[in-house]
């Protein structure tokens, strides 16, 4: 699932609806194109809770394990909303809507490095982080050095940068499809899997976004 723009008021303006539609279409487009992403289940720009919209991704079957490339596609589609805003609206017109997406992407990337041994420089290594009460974390939060902490931060940044670049490549290569889905969302507000597939039919996978 990709959570859309945070809703600050109960009523969305027309401009907010357009931004939300681009945002959710970005998530859906990137997830649709990348080969190891879960398929899109549904997209809505109807505000839910504190968010402006949601894009749901559901795996085709129960999954026991998640591979490195599946994690990377998950990161890229999670950043698809922010990147769609950036590409269409401009770098200085991005919104606070991606706050939840960015936080979740950072958490996934850090888990990949710290708990799953999926770093480039720290491959097959895991690092203990204390999950205890706050007082315990203040005394002992990690059992690795400051140098290792810096490498972990670099690895996380590298994963996020790669994901953003892949999402950007997909969106720039399929701007027409992004507009089609955006318009469909503005018209219907909620679009199911079949309608997403119809809107994104013919979307292409650019070489710049390929992992293999």
Q: Which residues are catalytic, by number?
A: 24
Q: What is the DSSP letter of 7?
A: P
Q: CB-side exposure of 207: number of CA atoms within 13 Å?
A: 0
Q: For residues 113 and 157, is the Cβ–Cβ distance under 8 A?
A: no
- DSSP lists the bridge partners of residue 129 as 142
- Closest alpha carbon to 185 in 13, 26, 79: 26
SS3 content of the chain, % helix, strand, coil (to 5): 55, 10, 35
Name, in order, each residue with C-beta under 8 angstroms of 187's C-beta and a sequence gap of 6 or more: none
Q: Please answer whether residues 42 and 58 qualify as being in contact, where contact means their C-beta atoms are separated by less than 8 angstroms.
A: no
């Amino acid at each position: 699932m990709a959570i859309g723009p945070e809703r600050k008021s109960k009523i969305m303006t027309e401009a907010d609806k357009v931004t939300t539609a681009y945002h959710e279409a970005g998530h859906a487009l990137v997830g649709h194109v990348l080969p190891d992403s879960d398929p899109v289940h549904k997209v809505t720009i109807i505000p839910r809770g504190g968010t402006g919209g949601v894009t749901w991704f559901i795996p085709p079957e129960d999954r026991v394990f998640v591979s490195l490339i599946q994690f990377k596609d998950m990161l890229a589609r999670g950043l698809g909303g922010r990147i769609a805003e950036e590409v269409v609206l401009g770098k200085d017109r991005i919104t606070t809507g991606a706050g939840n997406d960015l936080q979740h992407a950072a958490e996934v990337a850090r888990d990949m490095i710290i708990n799953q041994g999926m770093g480039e420089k720290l491959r097959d290594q895991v690092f203990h982080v204390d999950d205890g009460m706050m007082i315990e974390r203040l005394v002992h939060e990690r059992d690795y050095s400051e140098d290792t902490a810096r490498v972990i931060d670099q690895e996380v940044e590298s994963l996020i940068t790669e994901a953003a670049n892949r999402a950007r490549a997909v969106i720039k290569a399929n701007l027409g499809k992004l507009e089609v889905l955006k318009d469909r969302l503005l018209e219907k507000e909620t679009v199911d899997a079949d309608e997403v597939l119809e809107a994104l039919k013919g979307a292409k996978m650019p070489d710049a976004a390929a992992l293999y």
